[in-house]
Amino acid sequence: MTPAPSVLSVPRIVNQAIGLLDREGVERFSMRRLGHELGVDPMAIYHHLPNKAALFDAVVDALWGMAAESVAAEAPASDDWRALAAVPMRGLRRILLEHPRLVPVLATRPAVTPALLGLTDELVGRLASAGLPPASAMPLLDCLVGFTVGKVQGELREPVGGTDVAPEDAYAAVLAERFPRLAAAFAAGYDWAPEEQFERGLAALLAGWAA
């Protein structure tokens, strides 16, 4: 197929890549498959993005752009820096749960994309206005993003290599016999409640952070 760079654009390539990654994951992703999805010779993509790493960075930038839109739409009318810091984390969690196969991409690519830097600059400014100095806001945001991405990875419950046994079934088989204290915790009411646990963890992290 003859390359047709004129019909392509970076946003179109990135949107198609996100769709392909959503369906098939990073392991099966290739520039050849992406070219097929776009209906062009794969080499046409390189007129716009030099390599796969640059494409993945553009995908990450798109995800952070979604998070920035969430902040713009949902930022609370509050002068509490803790409330302000929580908003983008909830938006990021929602976006990652909508695109679960993109979590490894966002978690491992360098955090230097324009959308992320713009969002961080905006958040640092808001937090500073609410009383949290930039020197404290930056590490807080680092910790909050790490917590959010890690928590989503746990929520997805897709172990590498797959599993034939649901976690709940595995618990039932071994807890009472081998781990009585864990069995007692489950019997006392512990349950899988990812959203509640995310909110409690987020609140605890924010409550313990000193301005």
pLDDT tens string 14-62: 999 999 999 999 999 999 999 999 999 999 999 999 999 999 999 999 9
Sorted by sequence, the CB contacts under 8 Å of residue 103 that are 6+ apart come out as 96, 149, 152, 153, 156
Angle made by CA atoms 82, 155, 150, in degrees to the nearest 5? 55
| Among 156, 24, 151, 22, CA closest to 99 | 22
- For 78-99, the pLDDT digits (tens) are 789 999 999 999 999 999 999 9
Q: What is the pLDDT of residue 7?
A: 79
pLDDT on residue 78:
74
Q: Which pLDDT score is estimated for 75?
A: 60
pTM of the model: 0.83
Q: What is the DSSP letter of 79?
A: -
